[in-house]
Amino acid sequence: MRLEAADLHRTAADNRQMAAIESFAVKLENETVELELIAKAFQAIAKEISYGGLADALLKTALRHSGAVRGAVLLSEGGELLAKADATFPRERAKVFASQPSMREFQLPDDLSERVFMRQETVVRDGSRKGSAVTDRAECATGPDVTVLCQPLIHQGQTVGALYLESEAGPALFTPRCLSVMSMLASQAAVSFESAQLFEALRETNMWMVRGQQIGRMGSYRWNTRTLLSRASRECYRIFDIGLDVNPVPFEAFRACVHPDDLPDLEKALAGAVSAKSPFSHEYRVVHRDGSILHVVAVGQFDLSPAGDVELEGIITDVTEQKVSEQAVADARAALARAARLASLGELAGSIIHEVNQPLTAIRASADACLRWLAREPADTDEARRSALRVVEQSRRATNVVGGLRSLVRDSHLRFIDVHVNETIEEVLVLLKRELELAGVVLKTDFDETLPPIEADRVQLQQVVLNLVRNAIEAMAGVDGVRTLGISSKVADGHVSVSIADTGVGIDPASAEHLFAALYTTKGEGLGLGLSICRKIVGAHGGRLWAEKNTTHGATFTFTLPVRQFRRLSGSS
Amino acid sequence: MSSVFVHIVDDDKAVRESLGDLLRSMNYRTTLHGSASEFLDVELPDAPACLVLDIRLPGTSGLELQEYLTRVNIRLPVILITGFGDIPMSVQGMRAGAVDFLTKPIRDQDLLDAVAAAIRMDQHRRQEVVQIAELQKQYALLTLREQQVVELVASGLMNKQIANELSISEVTVKMHRRSAKRKLGAKSVATLVRMVGVLRAQKRGG
C-alpha cells in the first residue's frame, strides 16, 4: 500500500493534486498502520484459548491502543456466561478476569452497569477520581479526574462481559475512531470467549479421558494399516515406554517394545485381523527400557480413516497387576492340584501296594516255612512241598494284580470319541501357558492342519500331552540358553503322530527304555509313574510312545495313535 | 508238637495259611480265622497262646477285636500285623496294649521273636492265674474267724489290737494266726501279708 502510494506520488503529473494526494497518503498510511495494529491485536486475541489469557490479551491491546491508564475485563463466573447471561447478570456474578493495576474488587457504579450490561450501551463519561471503579477508595482521594470508557462484550445479542478503561487525559482520548476500534476488539473478544469456553470444555473432557486412562491403565490408539503409523493416547506411551515426542509412532518403534517371544504371534494375529477385517484381540508382553515386563491386552476394530485408509482403532490395557494376582491364584490352584494329585496318587499307590503286599507276605512266610521244614532233622518234605506250592500260587496272584492294573488302564477307563488332535493339544497348551512363560520356554508348534479326527479318549490323550510337555519343561529347567519346545503333528499310514521336542538335558540312550518303567524316576520329586502311564494310555489306544535323543541337544518324545480303533472290533490286543 | 497255641486272624486266606505254615514249622500249634467273629465263635484251648491279628479286617476291625477282648477280660497277648499306611492304627493298637506290631511282608525272625515274647507273657500270666486260684481255694478253707484275723494282720494290727478289735483273747488270736498260716502255706507273716494283698487286688480287678 505504501509503495503504491509512492508510485502514485511519482507518476502524478498534476502539482495541484499533490497536496491532496500527500494528505491522503499520510492519512492512508496512518490508517494502514492502525489496521495492521488492529489485525495484530485480533490475532493476539484470537490466539488465546484460555479465559485468563484472552482477558489479558484484550486488556493489554485495549490499553495500548487507547492510551488509557487503567482498565479491567469482566466476565461472569464459571465460564457460564454465554449460556446464562440474563437480566440478573452481572452484578452478583461478575468476575474480574484481568485488570491493571491488579485488584480484588471491582465496584462498577450501578448506573454504569445498568447502561452497559442491560442496555448494552458503550458509555464514555467524565468523573472525579472517586467514581473510579478500579482504584482503591482509600488511595483515590487525590489525583486527576478520570474519563471512563465502558464497553459491553456482546455475543449473539447477549452481554457476556465488559471492557472497562480509565483515562486521565480527559475525554479527548476516547475519540470516535478509538471507540470503533474498541468496539471491534470487544466483539472479536466476545467471539473468542466462546471458542475459549469450548476449548476449556474440550480440555476438561480430554483431561478426564487422560486421567481415566491413567486410572484404568488403558490407552487408546489408531493404527493406519497403510502408513503403519499409529497415533495413541498418553497412557499408551506410558504402557509402551515410548517418548511423547515420538508422534505418530512408527510400527518399528512399536515392534521394538513387544517381547521378542510374543512378537511372531502378535504379528500373525495382526496380519490375520487385517486380512479378515475382523475384530482384533490379542494378549502379549511389553518390555520397558529398564527391562521390566508388562502384560497387555489389545483390542481393536477396523475403520476407514477420512483419507480412506484402513485403520485399526482400539484400546490397549495394561493387565500386569491383574496378571500378578491371577498368577497368585493360579499358583495356589496349581499347588492344590499338585497336592490333590499326589494325594490321589498316594491313595492309588497305597491300594496297589496293599494288593501286591498280600501275596508278597504269603510268599515270604511260605518260603521261610519251606526252609524251616527242610532244615528239620529229618526234613519234612511234605510240608516243605506244600509251602513251596503256596509260593508259586501266590507269585501268580501277584502277577495277576499287576496285570489287573494294566487292564485297569487299558479297558475300563477309556472312552473313545472323535478327537481333533491339534485342538486337544492346544487346549493343554493353554493350561500350560503360564508354566511355559515362567520357565522361559519358547513354544513352536507345527501342526498338520489336514489331520483327520481320530478315535481316542480325549482326557487320557490330554493327560499324555500334559505329562510329556511337563517333562520337557522340567528337562529344560537346568539348561542355559534358548529353551525351545517344539510340538508337531502329522498323519501317515492311518496313524497320527505327535512329537514333543525339547532342548533340555537329553536322555542317556542306556536309560531310554527304563524311562517308561513304573516307579523309575530321575527327578527329585517325581513318583516315576508319568511316563509309564503315558505309555499305557498310548498302548491302550493301539499306538506307540518312544523317546529319542536329538542330534543337537534335548530329546524328542513321539507317540502315534491309529485314526480308527480296529482294536475294539478284533478284541483285546 | 508243643501245646502252645498261636491264633491267627487275617481275612486273606493265603496270608493266614502261610503265617500258620511258618508258625507250625516253628513248632507252634495254630488256629486260623478269617474274621473277628469267626475267632470269637470258637472256644479257645486252655493253653499258653497269643493272637496274631491283622489290623485291617472287614467287619470288626483288628483294633475293635483287641478292644473287645480287653473289655471282656480275655487277656490274650496280641501281635498286630499291619500293611502300608497303617502306622496311625498301629500306634493306637500299641497304646491299647498290643505286644508288638509287624509290617507286611513279615520277616520270619521278627514273627518268631514277637510270638516267643507274647507266649512268655501269656505263660507268666497263666501261672499267676493258677497261683491266685490256688490261693483263693486255700483261703476259702479258712474259718471266718481265721479270715478276720488274717485281714487284720495284713492291715498291720498287733495281736493285742486284733484281740481288742474282735473282743477275744490275745492267745486265741495267736492260735488263729498259726492255723491260717499253716492252711495257706505261708512261712512268714510277710508272705501272709503279700497273699492277702494279691487276693484283695484280684477281688478289686474283677
pLDDT at A407: 53
Where in chain B are the domains?
A: 5-126, 141-205
Which one has a higher pLDDT value, A318 or A107? A318
CATH of domain A324-412: 1.10.287
State the nearest Cα–Cα gap between A381 and chain B, in angstroms.
12
Alpha carbon distance B153, B155 (integer Å) = 5
Integer angstrom CA distances of residue B34 from A251, A285, A354, B59: 81, 67, 18, 11
Cis peptide preceding A144, ω within 30 of 0: no
* pLDDT range class, residue A84, cuts 50, 70, 90: very low
Residue type, position A370, single letter: C
ipTM: 0.75
Give the number of residues written for chain B. Answer: 206
Is domain A217-318 annotated with CATH 3.40.50.1820? no
Task: Find out whether A167 and A67 touch, Cβ atoms under 8 Å.
Answer: yes
B21 → closest Cβ in A353, A366, A393: A366
pLDDT at A510: 66
B18 → closest Cβ in A354, A369, A383: A369
Beta-bridge partner residues of A294? A286
CATH of domain B5-126: 3.40.50.2300
Alpha carbon distance A307, A110 (integer Å) = 57
A360 Ramachandran zone, left/alpha/beta (phi>0; psi -120 to 50): alpha
Q: Count CB-CB contacts under 10 A for residue A16.
A: 7
List CB contacts (< 8 A) between B83 and chain A: 353-354, 357-358
pLDDT at A332: 72
pLDDT at B118: 95
A131, pLDDT greater than 80 = no
B19 → closest Cβ in A357, A365, A383: A365
Give the number of residues written for chain A. Answer: 573
pLDDT at A569: 43
Over residues A495-552, the pLDDT tens digits come to 999 999 999 887 777 666 666 655 455 544 444 556 777 888 888 888 999 888 888 8
* pLDDT range class, residue B23, cuts 50, 70, 90: very high
Q: Say what the alpha-carbon torsion angle A111, A112, A116, A118 is, to the nearest 10 degrees.
A: -20
pLDDT at A16: 61
Within A457-565, strands assigned E span 483-492, 495-501, 544-549, 555-562
DSSP track, A333-394? HHHHHHHHHHHHHHHHHHHHHHHHHHHHHHHHHHHHHHHHHHHSSS--HHHHHHHHHHHHHH
Within B42-179, strands assigned E span 49-54, 78-82, 100-103
pLDDT mean across residues, chain B: 88
Tell whether the torsion through CA atoms of A338, A340, A341 and A347 is positive or negative: positive
Alpha carbon distance A212, A156 (integer Å) = 35
pLDDT at A90: 41
Binary contact (A397, B14; C-beta < 8 A): yes
Superfamily for A48-199? GAF domain (3.30.450.40)
Q: Is A393 on the interface with B (CB under 8 A)?
A: yes
List CB contacts (< 8 A) between A365 and chain B: 15, 18-19, 21-22, 105-106, 108, 111
A7, pLDDT greater than 60 = no
pLDDT mean across residues, chain A: 78
CATH topology (fold) of A417-568: Heat Shock Protein 90 (3.30.565)
Most confident range, picked from A25-29, A98-102, A114-118, B185-189: B185-189
pLDDT at A383: 93
A313, pLDDT greater than 80 = yes
A281, pLDDT greater than 70 = yes
CATH topology (fold) of B141-205: Arc Repressor Mutant, subunit A (1.10.10)
List CB contacts (< 8 A) between B19 and chain A: 361, 365
Within A27-157, strands assigned E span 70-76, 94-100, 123-127, 146-155
State the nearest Cα–Cα gap between A347 and chain B, in angstroms.
10
Q: Is B196 exposed, middle or buried (0-12, 13-18, 19+ CB in 10 A)?
A: buried
Nearest by Cα to A498 from A395, A437, A424: A424
Over residues A339-351, the pLDDT tens digits come to 656 655 665 666 6
Hey, is B105 helix, strand or coil?
Answer: coil
List CB contacts (< 8 A) between A368 and chain B: 22, 25, 108
Q: Picking from A312-321, A387-396, A421-430, B159-168, which range would have the lowest pLDDT averaged per residue?
A: A421-430
Q: Are strands B49-54 and B5-9 parallel, antiparallel or unpaired?
A: parallel
Most confident range, picked from A198-202, A316-320, A470-474, B54-58: A316-320
Count of CA atoms in the C-beta half-sphere (13 A) of B170:
5
pLDDT at A1: 44
User: Per the structure block, which three cell numbers stand in for A124?
Assistant: 464514555
B21 → closest Cβ in A376, A390, A393: A390
Q: Is A98 exposed, middle or buried (0-12, 13-18, 19+ CB in 10 A)?
A: buried
Residue type, position A504, single letter: G
